[in-house]
Chain A
């Protein structure tokens, strides 16, 4: 790996880890300070009773999401996971930014441009939410009409149809991966079956990605060895 790339990566991961650790401590400090000042510490039993379902479901989902999306996010993963809204905002921003800049994930260029996009998007979202807080009285009735609520329910399919379409084609960047879509024939069939049988539901995407990733990799490996999937330098 190139020297300047190595030193940037060393910096970005050190800064990301330190900043994230401080934030985690702060996240836990807020309820602690509030409970201490107002003397409202809940009994541990009520935290356990209230939390057992949440912890059992969301801690594995959180782990699965990090494992699933970090390979695409690169070093922007720290800011992405600390500011949340990964699927509906940060991941599309990263994919869009790489498409516009004509770069690919897991390259130094893709990594840097993703971080620009995630950082900007995070700052703007914080400012828009703050504006929403300030304008709560006039905006609330307007944004809670049936049509607006209905439209936001389908935000993810409205986003993903267009977002992923380009990727199934030739894609961006230095190389073209020919017939790459063949690698997902089996995963698509398996996920479709699981969805049809009701085993897999929305909310469990992160877990499904972790299960399907080895199948995609194995299919791609076999198809690449057999010459079905080919890599060509873009002219």
Chain B
């Protein structure tokens, strides 16, 4: 059997489909229980439906971007493996980098040359490397997630001391402090797209408030993403 025969084998398809069904079941239980929990906490159904609608609409564009990444990976690794990797745990950036590093580590100059060599054992090695490499986070998640999240919740609940509220804001603030400069200094298109996105979100928020278009609030993130991505193409032509 060759690299491509194994990469597109029926068995791999079946294993991937079974795994995806498991994830859908896992997510569905979370969905049902957290929905019930929202109602228990007094969040009204109208608000939950607004969240549901906005989440579904927003998810479409990034998911299409994942499909684009899938098409890039599928040319080398066949269909089922990238399908699995991008549906579970991975991201396009990680998969491409990990595959490239694995190929070079095994003595090939590129992923394409590795696939061309058509050695099924190499496909086996890549599957192991890509799978193990992304599991690092679970070494912390499984033992410490409960402690981290409940500890922060308790700190925030202490009404006599407002430090808990300030402290929990710090996580989002740190995200901004890291991502904004990195995107601004990355390249001019990235910086221009970031500011365009902020401007679009601000403008849409203003329009929603000024003209009392409350429904617009649910679509701001999705619209901002699409419009700013379109703008990035214009910025690329202008600045690069």
Contact = CB atoms under 8 A, between A and B. Distances in A.
Interface in A132-189: 132-133, 136, 139-140, 143-144, 147-168, 171, 175, 177, 180-181, 183-184, 187-188
A124 B185 contact: no
B200 A105 contact: no
Given A34-B127, A157-B197, A184 B67 contact: no
B197 A161 contact: yes
A81 to B, nearest CB: 6
A177 B166 contact: yes
B112 interface: no
Contact of A112 (B37, B123, B217, B228): B37
B93 A133 contact: no
Contacts of B83: 129-130, 133
B125 A42 contact: yes
B226 to A, nearest CB: 8
Given A97-B55, A119-B30, A133-B70, A109 B166 contact: no
A106 B27 contact: no
Interface residues of B, number: 156
A70 B41 contact: no
B125 A34 contact: no
B109 interface: no
Given A28-B132, A112-B43, A120-B59, A132 B70 contact: yes
Interface residues of A, number: 163
Contact of A160 (B33, B34, B41, B179): B179
B4 to A, nearest CB: 12
A128 B60 contact: yes
A91 B23 CA distance: 19
B87 A184 contact: no
B207 interface: no
21 contacts: A13-B145, A22-B22, A23-B23, A29-B15, A66-B137, A67-B148, A73-B149, A79-B27, A83-B87, A83-B88, A85-B62, A87-B91, A93-B55, A93-B59, A106-B153, A117-B55, A154-B193, A160-B194, A192-B185, A213-B170, A217-B170
Given A13-B146, A50-B106, 10 more contacts: A8-B40, A28-B131, A50-B129, A57-B101, A106-B152, A108-B41, A143-B67, A152-B65, A158-B224, A212-B178
8 closest residue pairs by CB, A with B? A161-B197, A162-B201, A59-B136, A62-B136, A158-B228, A62-B137, A132-B67, A115-B34
